[in-house]
Amino acid sequence: MGFRKKNKSPPVLSHEFVIQNHADMVSCVAMIVLLGLMFEVTAKFAIMFITVQYNVTYTFDDRPETGNFYQYGPKDMATVFFYVLIAIILHALIQEYILDKINRRLHLSKTKHSKFNESGQLAAFYLFSFIWGSSILTGEEFATNPTFLWEGYPHNRMVFQVKFFYICQIAYWIHALPELYFQKVRKEDIPRQLYYICLYIFHIAGAYVLNLHRLGLVLLVPHYLVELLFHASRLFYFSDENKQKGFTLWALLFVIARLLTLTLSVLTFGFGLSRTENQGFSITDGNFNILTVRISCLAAICLTQAWMMWKFINFQLKKWREHSQIQATKKRVISPKSKPSKKDSARGSAANGVMKSDDRTSPRARKPKAS
């Protein structure tokens, strides 16, 4: 299964060999896990990597049917590991069959080439996650009842779609760490990407472990929409630099999303969870509704939003300065050069040691002298 065309064969297990063949090697590991399902001895271990674990069946007092829900546990790390492999394979497929072909047509510089690949990968992920998350929220009552975010906490029962959504989210952002090496990301770009990758892992995993998956899902969907608009606008900008209208809409939605995130977070941690009856700390029950946890979660969200706004303001100021410099340069080129005055020209001639009265081309110089 080849994803890239190799002109030269680098030494086996060298850095270049691993980078060129990482998708093939990861595919082999995933295939070994899938082959484990064929044998009875290894099937119980292989299924732990592939399927969602901790299925719990509940019976309702007022309804005869039963409900299938899921909880989280240590075995989820095996599931996350398998879907990290799937994410690496999908990353290589998108890069090889979509982004590389577009890059050949655009003939971008190295800097733009790296940013184009980053935006292309993230735009595909944000689009898929936004559609998936929106479909999950349509079946919930959040739009009509905001108390859905904290009522009945701890929310230690997840339907299949919610748990699988979080598993895939964590797996994707973990896979982004080795991709920094596989994609040969420039050293100056690594710190910036590490910041937001680690923030995603920290916040999504925190919402999953603390049984705050309702709040996490509600905050992720609008955030992914804003990020999708930004990276889609950047892709259009690389294809045609005159297409910049998308950045204006993104700037407006970015501020709205930050305010929405802060409002819902303060409402949930400051008012909702603090007034619920079921307060306490119990790992077995999944209850983390104590003052220390609530303040820590709210502080983490507020600090992250403040950091994002600071980066956003610096980005806008940088663009404004660049736009002002471009406009000033255009005015200098378009404005006509001022003509020198008569006094300035006379002074210039005198400075050069030439006077108008001594000019041989003047009538007085050409007039012959009387004999």
The four Cα atoms 76, 47, 93, 203 give a dihedral, to 10 degrees, of -10
Count of alpha carbons within 13 angstroms of residue 217, beta-carbon side: 30
Higher pLDDT: 343 or 160? It is 160
Highest mean pLDDT among 17-26, 224-233, 268-277: 224-233
Q: Quick one: pLDDT at residue 300?
A: 96
Instruction: Look at residue 370 and tell me whether its pLDDT is greater than 60.
Output: no
The alpha-carbon radius of gyration of the chain (Å, integer) is 32
Amino acid at 27: S
| 3-state class (DSSP) for residue 58 | strand
Q: Which residues, listed in sequence order, are joined to residue 69 by a DSSP beta bridge? A: 56
Instruction: Look at residue 358 and tell me whether its pLDDT is greater than 50.
Output: no
pTM over 0.75: yes
- The crossing angle, in degrees rounded to 10, of helices 76-94 and 40-50 is 70
Buried/exposed 90-115: b ≥16 CB within 10 Å, e otherwise: bbbebbeeebbeebeeeebeeeebbb
In whole numbers, what is the pLDDT of the chain averaged over residues?
Answer: 85
Going by the DSSP 8-state scheme, the letter that residue 210 receives in this structure is T
Rounded distance, CA 101 to CA 2, Å?
16
- CA 367 vs. chain centroid, Å, equals 85
Rounded distance, CA 51 to CA 33, Å?
12
Q: Quick one: pLDDT at residue 325?
A: 82
The pLDDT tens digits of the residues spanning 220-270 come to 999 999 999 999 999 998 887 777 788 999 999 999 999 999 999 999 999
Alpha helices per DSSP H over 210-244 = 213-239
Instruction: Look at residue 183 and tell me whether its pLDDT is greater than 50.
Output: yes
- CA 326 vs. chain centroid, Å, equals 29
Task: Look up tokens 């899938």; give the residue.
Answer: 34
CB of 53 closer than 8 Å to CB of 77: no
Between the two ends of the chain, the Cα-to-Cα distance in Å is 108
Going by the DSSP 8-state scheme, the letter that residue 158 receives in this structure is B
CA distances in angstroms from 260 to 17, 131, 166, 221, 267, listed in the order given: 46, 19, 21, 12, 10
Q: What percent of the chain has pLDDT over 90?
A: 58
The pLDDT tens digits of the residues spanning 37-88 come to 999 899 999 999 999 999 988 776 666 566 789 999 999 999 999 999 999 9
